[in-house]
Structure 1
Amino acid sequence: MVTAGFNPGHGITFMIRKANPGDIPEIIALEEKAFTDPWGEAGMRDAMNLYLSSFFVATAAGRIVGFSGGGIEDTGDVIYGHICTLAVADEYRQRGVGRELISWIEYDLRQKGASAIELEVRISNHTAITFYKKLGYQEVFVYDSYYKDGEDGLVMMRWFSS
């Protein structure tokens, strides 16, 4: 298990480590607070077991305060990473947790051959869009009615130099 501790100058200490199936109940509780259309327990178990090759949790004060999950997609021409989910507990936002989770998943996906990383975000989620832009992600295009409720999804990507 890889772990690291951080105190990013925000008055908190948290750890990042690989997620495991025993984390799913806490991940689901956080996911249900963060998203209007959570994957749920069965969806999260399937994702963790079948296609999320990179999955990390942030822990603080003995509980999970954030998570990120993604995997590799190979088009035949290019290999890129795909961040499929990211959530941070409200009281830990703006404190470096999300930035560190993204850093870990980007590193892991790059080690697996990704030359770029893609993600989707709700077109109305201006806070997340601004967050990703600060991390070097660029708006690429919009998926019409991408989410279950019909909201459009903005595709963002970050390319890495070789």
Structure 2
Amino acid sequence: MIRSPPHAISPQPPLIRRAAPADVPAIVAIEHEAFADPWDAGIFTEAISYYPTTYFVAEVEGKIAGFIVGALEDTGENIYGHICNFAVTAPFRNRGIGRQLVLRLEHQFALELASGSQLEVRESNAPAQRFYRRLGYQNVFYVGGYYANGEDAIVMMKWFRF
């Protein structure tokens, strides 16, 4: 008999779908696991009505494994996507789910005529910076004291090519 190790990738691919109000408790649990200064449930619930086309969850075997919240911003010269919040729960990390969430959101941004996507990441979060660089994001500038604890943010951008 061949046994898979406990960390083996599930044979069932994740279902990437738009977030629904019923998903908020699972999203909040992931948020609290992933971040020192988490958003509260009210913000996630409001985001469903504000960003209905750019807010996704990854569902694996009936469980929410991750989420991504995006917004479109119009500068008057360009429309660009903004990755506002994004996390995958620890048991489902390193399985490509985060990559799939980001790519699905970028696809939606492009459908809505965005010329690129931006995000902020903690200066101390080297693994996240590497992840975004692998997806084509580049550092564009720093924002001093961006986070509640005073840590700086790196703003990263990916421009879409059509």
TM-score (norm 1): 0.90
**Which residue pairs with 2:3 in the alignment?**
none
Structure 1 unmatched ranges of 5 or more: 1-9
- 1:53 to partner: Cα distance: 4.0
User: d(CA) in 1 for partners of 2:94 and 2:52?
Assistant: 26
**Which residue pairs with 1:37 in the alignment?**
37
- 1:11 to partner: Cα distance: 2.3
- 1:22 to partner: Cα distance: 1.1
Structure 2 contact 68–85 (Cα < 8 Å) conserved: yes
Within-5 A mapping of 1:1-162: 11-12=9-10, 13=12, 14-51=14-51, 53-162=53-162
User: d(CA) in 2 for partners of 1:157 and 1:57?
Assistant: 22
- 1:61 to partner: Cα distance: 2.4
- 1:45 to partner: Cα distance: 1.5
Three-state SS of the structure 2 residue aligned to 1:149 is coil
- Deviations along 1:6-27, one digit per CA (max 9) or x if unpaired, are xxxx622221111111110110
Which one-letter code corresponds to 1:46 in the other structure? E
- 1:104 to partner: Cα distance: 0.3
- Deviations along 1:49-75, one digit per CA (max 9) or x if unpaired, are 224640110111221010011011000
Structure 1 contact 17–56 (Cα < 8 Å) conserved: yes
Structure 2 contact 70–83 (Cα < 8 Å) conserved: yes
Three-state SS of the structure 2 residue aligned to 1:77 is coil
Choose 1 or 2 for highest CA Rg.
2
Please provide the CA RMSD for this pair: 1.2
- 1:151 to partner: Cα distance: 0.7
Runs of 4+ in 1 over 4 A off after TM superposition: none
User: d(CA) in 2 for partners of 1:87 and 1:30?
Assistant: 7
User: d(CA) in 2 for partners of 1:134 and 1:59?
Assistant: 23
Structure 2 contact 84–119 (Cα < 8 Å) conserved: yes
Structure 2 unmatched ranges of 5 or more: 1-7
TM-score (norm 2): 0.90
Structure 1 contact 141–156 (Cα < 8 Å) conserved: yes
